[in-house]
Chains A and B, each alone.
Chain A
Amino acid sequence: MAPTTPAGDSWRPLGLVLVAALGFSGALAYGSLRVRTPHRPETAHAERPIQVADGGFVSSDTCRACHPGQYASWHRSYHRTMTAVATPTSVLASFDRVRVDQVNGRPMFLERRGDELWAEIDEPDWDGQGDAPPRIRRQVVLTTGSHHQQIYWYATGHGRLLGQLPAIQLAAERRWVPRRSAVMHPPDVPLVSESGSWNGICVQCHTTNGRPEFSTPFGAENLFVQTIDTRAVEFGIACESCHGPANEHVAANRSPLRRYGLHLTRTPDPTIVEPRRLDVHRSSEVCGQCHGLWEYYDEAAERQANSEGLPYRPGDQLTKTRFIVQPTLNLDSPTLKRLLKEDPNFVSDIFWKDGMVRATGREYNGLIDSPCYKNAVEGARTLSCMSCHAMHKPSGDPRALDSWADDQLKSEALGNDACLQCHGSLRDTVTAHTRHRADSVGSSCYNCHMPHTTYGLLKTIRSHQINSPSVQATLDTGRPNACNLCHLDKTLEWTSRYLDQWYRIPPPPALGSDERSVAASILVLFRGDAGQRAIIAQALGWAPAQQTAGTDWMAPFLSLLLTDPYDAVRYIAGRSLKTLPGYESFPYDFVASPDQRIVMRRRALDAWRDGGSAPGHRGEAALLFNPDGTFIAEQVTRLSAQRNNRRVFYRE
């Protein structure tokens, strides 16, 4: 018989196994903590603005648990990345020992130090003492944007005050350009420091409930004597920007009984704002809080927003807490009068003469002046942002998140269905209405009623004020009309004739001889201000217009713009030139020296002259050509002298 084991001994092996298991687990946990980068609490960052979820806000991390689908589509959107902490993964540009010459001043040097990004630049806040600005080395801590451009912000070392790198990254080309070259900025206006701009301006719309927290108003005194403690609930435009603070919602919905009660009865949850359930005006204001041009009513409002964040909450009436600039309605208001007194160009820089907004990022201003919005009497048939855009990719949308994220358009709003939601009677009579083939670009509602007459971020976008082509409006405001943005080779007189013939729109009483004999696009290109020239430069590279008007005449006009005084106009002209046959790899750098640009312009013209002599449009007088294809020199000289050289400065 085997000896019996005492009861105490039978537990010994188990105890040993347990001790070994505990030891192993402990070693594993310790090891994983050692290899993981230590997480630095947000509040430990004294050198930059921080993210603190307070004041009833909870941040998107909390929303994610219950709304994973919505979180995912938002996470892919450019709203999220509108501001981000600068890390090797969030920056578009390389920081691996890079030298950037495309800056005003001495080159910028970039480098990585572990996960940190550093830059060496000329001190932009130099006081002018000494021969040259001192060189500074600063850590890049935040980025703005990621869709079209990315701007980089460094810690100045003065509280949470940020400065801006002197060059920005263009997303499409993945190249650096001087900061000023990326915006419509008058060439003769000196560059100013952008230090504090993020803290004082960007923070309001590029974060969730941002608070500048300047001890005195931004711009009121030297930044470096102010106390600056900028913070936000979250960087980027997150869930609570559109749904409101969610603390109450989160607390209430900890109860599964409540949640299932709401699910089963399909009752809206009163603890959170769902913009789609708001009436059309309130729901559009949710977008308008950032996509509109607004100002504080007074200094007290600025001080309140400075310390508590903007008081507007989704569902509120926007104008209760801020002044929406709408020249068609409130040009005589005390607030706008005050703003115009401070800056006489406040309105003309952003609006056409008839009050239509001309700068991007102000789509709400366009919407509220649209007849589909202001004249509509039925809520269901009133245009709102949600008529065409979806902030979360709808479940039935077959597109990938990336495609949807580009403009966040509903899939049904990609074509005429956007308008046919209300104008359904036109569905079967498209050709009768448009007088163009139903499948042609001339039958696109967007092309005629939302032409590309708004400028920003080195491109034009569609006007968000729904309107109809009007020659009179072109004459009154200088804004190219939809017909001539496609029929680039036609005169205003031609357009006027067809609008009269087809739509009984009476022609203007008297058109000048140029308007009768020279293509409307060419007139704008020569006579227009920088904003107008940018619109034509882009139209010349727009495929539908190229199909309609031909391309064989465009190169010389675009080449003229290659030496435009405005960087933005040159950039667009260069981009359009490369869409023309034979110019795909034309070497042009819009920030090259003036001499080099002249050489490039000459080359572009030479290439066009040598490009064959097919008649095409090259002999048309409306395009300033002699029958032999040469320019009518005196016309070109005369119109060039008529350029509108007013300073154009968009608040992009």
Chain B
Amino acid sequence: MADGSRPNREYAHRHLRFGWWSMLVFAGLGLLLETLQGFKVGAYLDVSNETRRMLWRLAHAHGTLLGVVHVLFGLTLRTEADRPLPRARLISRTLTLASLLVPAGFFLGGFGFVGGDPGLSVLLVPIGAVLLLSALFLLGSTVGGDEAAKGAGSRTKER
């Protein structure tokens, strides 16, 4: 059992689903941005809205790429199905939260911006970035490691 309660396949299923849905949502945002571009909507295209344009593009790009990260994470967990991932719950939650905060921070920062400064919601981005880096660090240090898996297993048993 991974992380004491759920097997890898359950996390894999969750992240695969999150990843594909995330890609759908943020690819959809891309389509919306293209529509704004196509119809020359001033609120998006005017030079005075350059900050908004940049932030919304960042939201689109980060959201989509983080969706891909979730899919990769899900696939990784599937390939490691027989080796429970230590701290899987923490990694899963951290990655999921990061994938919400980073694109949301960029997107919402596109409202209420002043000149070249994004709206205050952009503060969600560094929080999300720290969570993302933490999740990646945890993943990098635990995935595929037999010793780690053993350690995690023993800790699980101790509980």
- Write out the residue numbers on chain A whose beta carbons fall within 8 Å of the beta carbon of B120: 260, 264
- Write out the residue numbers on chain B whose beta carbons fall within 8 Å of the beta carbon of A259: 114, 117
Find out whether the CB atom of A263 lies under 8 angstroms from the CB atom of B46.
no
- Write out the residue numbers on chain B whose beta carbons fall within 8 Å of the beta carbon of A260: 117, 120
Q: Which single member of A69, A264, A395 contacts B50 (CB below 8 Å)? A: A69
Contact-size category for B: 10 to 19
Could you mark each residue 468-486 of chain A with 1 if its beta carbon is under 8 Å from any beta carbon of chain B, else 0?
Answer: 0000000000000000000
Cβ-based interface call for B51 (8 A): yes
Find out whether the CB atom of A69 lies under 8 angstroms from the CB atom of B117.
no
**Min CB gap A252→B, angstroms:** 14
Find out whether the CB atom of A68 lies under 8 angstroms from the CB atom of B51.
yes
Find out whether the CB atom of B117 lies under 8 angstroms from the CB atom of A67.
no
Task: Tell me the nearest residue of chain A to B49, going by C-beta.
Answer: A69
Find out whether the CB atom of A69 lies under 8 angstroms from the CB atom of B114.
no
Cβ-based interface call for B38 (8 A): no
**Min CB gap A11→B, angstroms:** 16
Find out whether the CB atom of A66 lies under 8 angstroms from the CB atom of B116.
yes
Cβ-based interface call for B79 (8 A): no
User: With A and B bound together, what is the CA distance between A67 and B50 in angstroms?
Assistant: 9
**Min CB gap B59→A, angstroms:** 19
- Write out the residue numbers on chain B whose beta carbons fall within 8 Å of the beta carbon of A69: 46-50, 115
Cβ-based interface call for A72 (8 A): yes
- Write out the residue numbers on chain A whose beta carbons fall within 8 Å of the beta carbon of B48: 68-70, 72, 395
Could you mark each residue 14-56 of chain B with 1 if its beta carbon is under 8 Å from any beta carbon of chain A, else 0?
Answer: 0000000000000000000000000000000011111100000
User: With A and B bound together, what is the CA distance between A259 and B116 in angstroms?
Assistant: 10
Q: Which single member of A65, A72, A73 contacts B116 (CB below 8 Å)? A: A65
User: With A and B bound together, what is the CA distance between A260 and B50 in angstroms?
Assistant: 18
Task: Tell me the nearest residue of chain B to A263, going by C-beta.
Answer: B114
User: With A and B bound together, what is the CA distance between A68 and B114 in angstroms?
Assistant: 10
User: With A and B bound together, what is the CA distance between A70 and B51 in angstroms?
Assistant: 13
Interface residues of B in 75-130 (CB under 8 A from A): 114-117, 120
User: With A and B bound together, what is the CA distance between A194 and B29 in angstroms?
Assistant: 59
Find out whether the CB atom of B117 lies under 8 angstroms from the CB atom of A256.
yes
**Min CB gap B1→A, angstroms:** 31
User: With A and B bound together, what is the CA distance between A472 and B116 in angstroms?
Assistant: 56
Find out whether the CB atom of B115 lies under 8 angstroms from the CB atom of A67.
yes
User: With A and B bound together, what is the CA distance between A68 and B47 in angstroms?
Assistant: 6
Classify the interface of chain B: helix, strand, loop or mixed.
Answer: helix
- Write out the residue numbers on chain B whose beta carbons fall within 8 Å of the beta carbon of A71: 47
Classify the interface of chain A: helix, strand, loop or mixed.
Answer: helix
**Min CB gap A387→B, angstroms:** 23
Q: How many of A's residues come within 8 Å of B, CB to CB?
A: 15
**Min CB gap B92→A, angstroms:** 29
Find out whether the CB atom of A68 lies under 8 angstroms from the CB atom of B116.
yes
**Min CB gap A333→B, angstroms:** 44
Task: Tell me the nearest residue of chain B to A66, going by C-beta.
Answer: B116
Task: Tell me the nearest residue of chain B to A72, going by C-beta.
Answer: B47
**Min CB gap B112→A, angstroms:** 9
- Write out the residue numbers on chain A whose beta carbons fall within 8 Å of the beta carbon of B117: 66, 256, 259-260, 263
**Min CB gap A200→B, angstroms:** 36
- Write out the residue numbers on chain A whose beta carbons fall within 8 Å of the beta carbon of B115: 66-70
Q: Which of B46, B48, B49 has the most CB of A within 10 A?
A: B48
Task: Tell me the nearest residue of chain B to A259, going by C-beta.
Answer: B117
**Min CB gap B133→A, angstroms:** 20
User: With A and B bound together, what is the CA distance between A521 and B115 in angstroms?
Assistant: 52
- Write out the residue numbers on chain A whose beta carbons fall within 8 Å of the beta carbon of B49: 69
- Write out the residue numbers on chain A whose beta carbons fall within 8 Å of the beta carbon of B50: 68-69
Interface residues of A in 302-337 (CB under 8 A from B): none
User: With A and B bound together, what is the CA distance between A486 and B91 in angstroms?
Assistant: 81
User: With A and B bound together, what is the CA distance between A65 and B50 in angstroms?
Assistant: 10
**Min CB gap A85→B, angstroms:** 23
User: With A and B bound together, what is the CA distance between A65 and B115 in angstroms?
Assistant: 9
- Write out the residue numbers on chain A whose beta carbons fall within 8 Å of the beta carbon of B116: 65-68
Task: Tell me the nearest residue of chain B to A67, going by C-beta.
Answer: B115
User: With A and B bound together, what is the CA distance between A70 and B48 in angstroms?
Assistant: 7
- Write out the residue numbers on chain B whose beta carbons fall within 8 Å of the beta carbon of A264: 120
Task: Tell me the nearest residue of chain B to A65, going by C-beta.
Answer: B116
- Write out the residue numbers on chain A whose beta carbons fall within 8 Å of the beta carbon of B51: 68
Q: Supply 19 further A-B pairs (C-beta < 8 A) apart from A65-B116, A66-B115, A256-B117.
A: A67-B115, A67-B116, A68-B47, A68-B48, A68-B50, A68-B51, A68-B116, A69-B46, A69-B47, A69-B115, A70-B48, A71-B47, A72-B47, A259-B114, A259-B117, A260-B120, A263-B114, A263-B117, A395-B48
26 A–B pairs (Cβ distance < 8 Å), ordered by A: A65-B116, A66-B115, A66-B117, A67-B116, A68-B47, A68-B48, A68-B50, A68-B51, A69-B46, A69-B47, A69-B48, A69-B50, A69-B115, A70-B48, A70-B115, A71-B47, A72-B47, A72-B48, A73-B47, A256-B117, A260-B117, A260-B120, A263-B114, A263-B117, A264-B120, A395-B48
- Which 9 pairs, one residue from A and one from B, show the smallest C-beta to C-beta distance? A69-B48, A72-B47, A66-B116, A68-B50, A263-B114, A66-B115, A67-B115, A259-B117, A69-B47
